[in-house]
Chain A
Amino acid sequence: MRRRAPRNRRAVFAAVAMAGALALTACGANEDEGSNDKSQVEVFSWWTGPGEADGLKAMQADFEKKNPGTKFVNAAIAGGSGTQAKAVLASRLQNRKPPDSFQGHAGAELLDYIKAGQIEPLDDFYQQNNLTSVYPQQLIDQITYQGKIYSVPVNIHRSNVLWYNPGILKDAGISAPPASIAEFITALKAVKEKTKKVPLSLGAQWTADHLLENVLLGDLGTDAYNALWKPGADWSTPAVTKALNDFAEIMRYTTLEAASTDWQGAAKAVVDGKAAFNIMGDWAYGYFVGSAPNGLGKKLDTDFKYAAAPGTEGTYMWLSDSFTLPKSAPHRAGALAWLKEVSSKEGQDLFNPKKGSIPARKDADKSLYTGYLKDAFEQWNSPNIKLAGSFWHGVNANNKWHTDIDTAVGLFLQNKDAAKLQQALVSAAKNSGL
């Protein structure tokens, strides 16, 4: 008995000491609210995929050159369209441990953060850096909420792009890319009957959401499409019914294994000569032409071609990646330096050619944008272009509406019932709380 006593006491000491140490570290973590801390910047994004990761790296290098005292911490989380990243972000914001700046799609997607008071308005930042004059006025209008701007757009993407394999189209006897939804369905049928290829490649559930917004835009036209996202909009019209029936018809020509692939796999099927068509945002371009290992090293015109998604010529269905300033960001000065980088001409010109997007600024260096991007650059800046917001990529539906449409589409993929889909979309619009 006597020999065991000291051991017990030591164990008690150890336990008490450990509890004390835990308590100390718990206190220490929240100590510095140093808003002028520029020692580092933690940038949260979902740019881990081919193309976009290179763009982020290029912008990071430029940032580190301009801000030698600031350590850049890349807190990127994988997953197309940011589905995983947004969950991690939500819990960090709830715990009041925000990153110094986080990526968010400009538009209604940020509404929950704004309403919860989790991000700061950036009007002062815009004024100090003269940004209101370098961004297009319509973009500024779209991202302004109750008179204030909450994010800094770094790029513009286009959602309504049809990628196609010219060889397969030739085999199927299709001379030009389809210009309307009706022509599109005819073309899909021709591919199915005359070749052994997949008519339209599709990926996981969210790529069906992406396809849906394109079919809606193509069938309804820009004005009617935009009207769908206004408060109190009517989703039960015969025009929507027709669009959803077309959507159901188009879905019959898609890949069986869609749910097993993300957008990269679906897009790759086109340039690899396995599928005729794919409707995906123009981030696919950077992935197609980029060099290995992150890109596929394919050539425009020989391996693949593009057109506006059927029925959407003359409309730019836009989305924009933007960065924010979270309230009580641990390194606020670092975050502001990062926002300055993403809003700068150099930053945007380094990032965008790699990502396969065009700069949100009007004064970017046009010569850097070749191939598809040259075309996109001209279209975006053309005075006649009509704008539509991409619902799936956060422009015009808040998170609740967005998720409810996703659920409706997911159920549709199971039961293939267009009437039920319309019912679900009607109630999703009603319940959105917009």
Chain B
Amino acid sequence: MKFRRSRKWLPGLLLLSPSIVAIGLFVYGLIFWNTRVALSGKHDEVSEYGFDKGKNFVDLWDQPSWPGAVQNALVFTAVFVVGALVLGAFLAFLMDKGIRGEASFRVIYLFPMAVSFIASGVVWRWLMNPAPPERAVGFNQLFDKLHLGALANSWWQDPTWGMAAMALPAIWQMSGYVMALYLAGFRSVPEELREAARVDGASEWKVYRYVVFPQLRPITLSALIILGHISLKVFDLIMAIAGKQIVTYVPAVATFVEIFDRHDPANGATIATYLLVAVAVLVIPYLVWSVRGERSR
């Protein structure tokens, strides 16, 4: 009766096997290959791979464009993650207070997420044009018309804080998603708890500060992870708004430039490996934590 036993797991395995094979090949296989290239001395298309003992990982820091790329990615990540979290939580808070036509507001705030960065980037590139008043377009023109000329600035073309401006489109795009996460969280907090707090004389602010938000820690954490890894590997938004210019250079763009423009596969793979490690530092603890949470349930 061996046959009967195999009937239990075989269909499931067959059903899953295409995706197991695909993931094995295209995710783990390619991660392996990428690491292998990163450890090689293949700095052009024709040379042999060889083994470089991680020399690329050290040499990369001597590349003139690399420290700036790391700094840009950090500024972008900080502004984007904090901005999207705060804005998303605030929107969810407003929704939770019971707004008329909540459903349509929810859709409006979620909509930007459905637009691709490439498409919205073209619009934002125009909105964030730093031209002076006589040729101003976009936000700078708006500020000028509203007699708020002092607010006009150089947006993403500022050498030091440009990446903070670059985070604005990303915040706009992802805060609706954060809002949806928080809104679901707010709704899952039993009304009785809030009532109890109010009876004890807590102000509305204190109800949220001490009763609702502490219960939303898992949601904040997942939002943080999702936003964090999006921002570390941001590429399409930068390419749509600025293209491959040093002022907005980030690691993902650097990977592209090294491989396709400089024809240096080893350097490109090295940067990609750094990116993978940076994302893994964020995601793996989260995975461990959530798997543990599921088990204990």
Task: Summarize A's interface: helix, strand, loop or mixed.
Answer: helix
Binds A, one of B100-108, B206-214, B242-250, B271-279: B242-250
Task: Evaluate whether A259 and B15 lie within 8 angstroms (CB atoms) in the complex, with A115-B44, A403-B262, A411-B64 already known.
Answer: no
Contact call A414/B246, Cβ cutoff below 8 A: yes
A433 to B262 CA separation, bound complex (whole angstroms): 12
Interface residues of B, count at CB 8 A: 38
Contact call A12/B14, Cβ cutoff below 8 A: yes
A358 to B128 CA separation, bound complex (whole angstroms): 38
Contact call A407/B246, Cβ cutoff below 8 A: yes
Those of A219-262 within 8 Å (CB) of chain B = 255-257, 259-260
A407 to B63 CA separation, bound complex (whole angstroms): 10
Those of A406-423 within 8 Å (CB) of chain B = 406-408, 410-411, 413-415
Shortest Cβ distance from residue B252 to the other chain A in the assembled complex, whole angstroms: 13
A400 to B131 CA separation, bound complex (whole angstroms): 33
Shortest Cβ distance from residue A262 to the other chain B in the assembled complex, whole angstroms: 8
- Asked if A11 lies at the interface with its beta carbon under 8 angstroms from chain B, I say yes
Contact call A256/B130, Cβ cutoff below 8 A: yes
- Asked if B18 lies at the interface with its beta carbon under 8 angstroms from chain A, I say yes
Shortest Cβ distance from residue B90 to the other chain A in the assembled complex, whole angstroms: 30
Shortest Cβ distance from residue A152 to the other chain B in the assembled complex, whole angstroms: 23
In the bound complex, residues from chain B placing their C-beta under 8 Å from that of A86 are: 260-261
In the bound complex, residues from chain A placing their C-beta under 8 Å from that of B257 are: 403
Contact call B11/A259, Cβ cutoff below 8 A: no
- Asked if A120 lies at the interface with its beta carbon under 8 angstroms from chain B, I say no
Interchain CB contact (< 8 A) of B243 among A12, A83, A415: A83
In the bound complex, residues from chain A placing their C-beta under 8 Å from that of B259 are: 90
- Asked if B120 lies at the interface with its beta carbon under 8 angstroms from chain A, I say no
Task: Evaluate whether A83 and B244 lie within 8 angstroms (CB atoms) in the complex, with A15-B18, A116-B46 already known.
Answer: yes
Interface string of A257-277 (1 = CB under 8 A from B): 101100000000000001000
In the bound complex, residues from chain A placing their C-beta under 8 Å from that of B128 are: 260
A402 to B247 CA separation, bound complex (whole angstroms): 18
In the bound complex, residues from chain B placing their C-beta under 8 Å from that of A123 are: none
A19 to B249 CA separation, bound complex (whole angstroms): 41
A255 to B157 CA separation, bound complex (whole angstroms): 12
Those of A1-46 within 8 Å (CB) of chain B = 8-9, 11-12, 15-16, 18-19, 22
In the bound complex, residues from chain B placing their C-beta under 8 Å from that of A415 are: 159
Contact call A410/B18, Cβ cutoff below 8 A: no
Interface string of B3-14 (1 = CB under 8 A from A): 000000001001
- Asked if B40 lies at the interface with its beta carbon under 8 angstroms from chain A, I say no
Interchain CB contact (< 8 A) of A205 among B17, B44, B131, B245: B245
Task: Evaluate whether A411 and B246 lie within 8 angstroms (CB atoms) in the complex, with A19-B18, A399-B261, A403-B257 already known.
Answer: yes
Shortest Cβ distance from residue B4 to the other chain A in the assembled complex, whole angstroms: 13
Interface string of B156-174 (1 = CB under 8 A from A): 0101000000000000000
- Asked if A292 lies at the interface with its beta carbon under 8 angstroms from chain B, I say no
Task: Evaluate whether A257 and B15 lie within 8 angstroms (CB atoms) in the complex, with A399-B263, A400-B44, A424-B64 already known.
Answer: no
A433 to B43 CA separation, bound complex (whole angstroms): 11
Contact call B262/A16, Cβ cutoff below 8 A: no
Those of B132-149 within 8 Å (CB) of chain A = 132, 134-135
Contact call A8/B11, Cβ cutoff below 8 A: yes
Contact call B64/A18, Cβ cutoff below 8 A: no
Shortest Cβ distance from residue B156 to the other chain A in the assembled complex, whole angstroms: 8
Shortest Cβ distance from residue B163 to the other chain A in the assembled complex, whole angstroms: 12
- Asked if A313 lies at the interface with its beta carbon under 8 angstroms from chain B, I say no
Interface residues of A, count at CB 8 A: 42
A22 to B257 CA separation, bound complex (whole angstroms): 33
A83 to B253 CA separation, bound complex (whole angstroms): 13
- Asked if A346 lies at the interface with its beta carbon under 8 angstroms from chain B, I say no
How many CB-defined contacts (below 8 Å) exist between A and B? Answer: 103
Contact call A205/B246, Cβ cutoff below 8 A: yes
Most B CB contacts (10 A, CB to CB) among A18, A22, A257, A410 go to A257
Closest B residue to A398 by CB, please name it. Answer: B263
Contact call B262/A399, Cβ cutoff below 8 A: yes
Interchain CB contact (< 8 A) of B130 among A112, A257, A399, A400: A257
Contact call A400/B264, Cβ cutoff below 8 A: yes
A406 to B17 CA separation, bound complex (whole angstroms): 47
- Asked if A196 lies at the interface with its beta carbon under 8 angstroms from chain B, I say yes
- Asked if A370 lies at the interface with its beta carbon under 8 angstroms from chain B, I say no
- Asked if A134 lies at the interface with its beta carbon under 8 angstroms from chain B, I say no
Shortest Cβ distance from residue A389 to the other chain B in the assembled complex, whole angstroms: 19
- Asked if B125 lies at the interface with its beta carbon under 8 angstroms from chain A, I say yes
Interchain CB contact (< 8 A) of B246 among A18, A256, A410: A410
Contact call A12/B246, Cβ cutoff below 8 A: no
- Asked if B185 lies at the interface with its beta carbon under 8 angstroms from chain A, I say no
In the bound complex, residues from chain A placing their C-beta under 8 Å from that of B249 are: 410
Contact call A204/B243, Cβ cutoff below 8 A: yes
16 chain-A/chain-B pairs, Cβ below 8 angstroms: A9-B11, A12-B14, A19-B18, A86-B261, A87-B260, A91-B260, A257-B135, A260-B126, A399-B261, A400-B262, A402-B261, A404-B262, A410-B65, A410-B249, A415-B159, A433-B44
12 extra A-B contacts, CB within 8 A, seeds A204-B243, A403-B257: A16-B14, A86-B261, A112-B45, A256-B131, A257-B130, A257-B131, A259-B245, A260-B125, A402-B261, A406-B261, A413-B246, A433-B44
Binding site for B on A (CB under 8 A): 8-9, 11-12, 15-16, 18-19, 22, 83, 86-87, 90-91, 112, 115-116, 196, 198, 204-205, 255-257, 259-260, 274, 399-400, 402-404, 406-408, 410-411, 413-415, 424, 433
Q: Which 8 A-B pairs have the closest CB atoms?
A: A410-B246, A87-B260, A116-B45, A257-B131, A205-B245, A403-B262, A414-B159, A403-B261
